[in-house]
Amino acid sequence: MTVATSRRSVLLGLAGAAVAGGAQARGWEPSRPVQFVVPAGTGGGADQMARVIQGIVSKHALMRQPMVVVNKAGGAGAEGFLEAKGARGNPHMLVITLSNLFTTPLATGVPFNWKDLTPVTMMALDEFVFWVNANSPWRSVQDLIAAAKQQRLKIGGTGSKQEDQIIAAAITKASGAQFTYVPFRGGGEVAVQLVGGHIDATVNNPIEAVTHWRSGALRPLCVFDAKRLADTGKMTETQAWSDIPTCREQGLDVDYLMLRGIFMPAGVKPEQVAFYEGLMAKVRETPEWKDLMQQGAFNTTSLTGEAFGAWLAREDERHRSLMQDAGFLANPA
């Protein structure tokens, strides 16, 4: 295991060096400040990640030109995506995406598709956990589903027809239990509504709810991933992230991960894409980035190039079918 890991990191290092060297050999580098578009508001998960990347790039002097974070949150991110779509061929623009890359065009009918952008790299995947209030009688997913079949329960989440509601709809599809979905503005607010007992369950990301778990106010039931979370450090007296069962283990066949990826506008040159690929590979090697990954219990899968493209095509199809099932499409086929 250790050998394999170290060999892989050597390979990664070589690949990174090769990419960086290649970029230098071809000589492309940003000649103007790089605009980093966040298709979400300030303070959210995508915004935080963009600002951490910006901080890392400037602290470690990874790029000569500065990086400027710009929030374009209008219309569930449609504003940011349309701006990037309109900036065809501009190598001084990056976009960080969340699941609204797929959901916003599907739910609103805004003329945009992920193929209007050039995929650069997947930075990480964000996990989702099924949470209930620690005072509730539900200790397992089965308890909750059984209760939901007796009496309609309320699931709170961020936004409407976005990832949280898609997961809620998938839970209904997999278990047959009906829920009322109540949309709120942000993940932190959702977690507090659950602590206050105003809703019955949430599908918060780990980083949004971890502090309430540790203070004993919330209870995690399962994680919406094919395998358990990697981090084995104790978060509460008795539990680590890795102690939370997967939903599949609990008999609820739902998994969902949210993309944290970097894109460029369409029509940019390969050496320009290679530059940013190399840059982001260096960002992922820094201790600050690793801290963020550990704090948020992120899934640190990273993909580039064709593998990333194939992943995106698959996810796009999956979102379309999930949203079709839930009746969330703006223009049903």
- Considering only residues 203 through 232, tell me which ones interact with another protein, judged by CB under 8 A: 207-208, 210-212, 214-215, 217
By CB under 8 A, is residue 300 in contact with another protein? no
Nearer to another protein, 186 or 245 (CB): 186
Give whichever of 247 and 284 is closer to another protein, judged by the CB atom. Answer: 284
Of 26, 51, 248, 320, which one interacts with another protein (CB under 8 A)? 51
d(CA 151, CA 147): 6
**How many of the other CB atoms lie within 10 Å of CB of 152?**
12
Selected binder of another protein within 58, 178, 232, 321 (CB under 8 A): 58
Measured CA to CA, the distance from residue 258 to residue 230 in angstroms comes to: 17
Count residues near another protein (CB under 8 A).
Answer: 62
d(CA 155, CA 200): 6
In this chain, which of 11, 18, 70, 307 binds another protein, going by CB under 8 A? 70
3-state secondary structure 202-262: ECCCHHHHHHHHHCCCEEEEEECCCCCCCCCCECCCCCEHHHCCECCCCCCCCCCCEEEEE
Q: Is 40 in the site for another protein (CB under 8 A)?
A: no
| The binder of another protein chosen from 182, 203, 254, 280 (CB under 8 A) | 182
Nearer to another protein, 125 or 297 (CB): 297
Residue 54 within binding range of another protein, rule CB under 8 A: yes
96 membership: H or E segment, kind and range: strand 93-97
Among 162, 246, 250, 272, binds another protein (CB under 8 A): 162
Select the residue interacting with another protein from 78, 147, 203, 280 (CB under 8 A): 78
> How far apart, in Å, are the Cα atoms of 42 and each of 32, 51, 279?
24, 10, 24
Helix (H, G, I), strand (E, B) or coil at 22: helix
Residues near 69 by beta carbon (within 8 Å), at least 6 away in sequence: 36, 38, 47, 50, 51, 54
Where do contacts with another protein occur on this chain (CB under 8 A)?
A: 41-43, 47-48, 51-52, 54-56, 58-59, 69-76, 78-79, 82, 107-108, 110, 154, 159-162, 165, 180-186, 188-189, 191-193, 195-196, 198-199, 207-208, 210-212, 214-215, 217, 288, 291-292, 295, 328, 330
